[in-house]
Amino acid sequence: MATDFSPEILDQLLAGGSLKPEDLAGEDGLFRRLKKALLERALGAELTHHLGYEKGDPAGRGSGNSRNGTSSKALLTDDGEIEIEVPRDRAGTFEPVIGPDPLRRLRREDHQSLRAGHDGTGDPGPSGRALRHRVCPPI
Rg (CA), the chain: 17
Q: Tens digits of per-residue pLDDT, 45-66?
A: 999 999 999 999 998 898 889 9
Cα gap 122→84, rounded to integer Å: 24
Residue 139 scores a pLDDT above 60:
no
118 or 2: which carries more pLDDT confidence? 2
> Which pLDDT score is estimated for 51?
96
| Mean pLDDT of the region 24-48 | 92
The answer to whether the predicted template modeling score (pTM) of the entire model surpasses 0.75 is no
> Which pLDDT score is estimated for 100?
52
Residue 36 scores a pLDDT above 90:
yes
Q: Tens digits of per-residue pLDDT, 17-31?
A: 778 888 888 888 899
Half-sphere exposure of 25 (CA within 13 A, CB side): 3
> Which pLDDT score is estimated for 90?
95
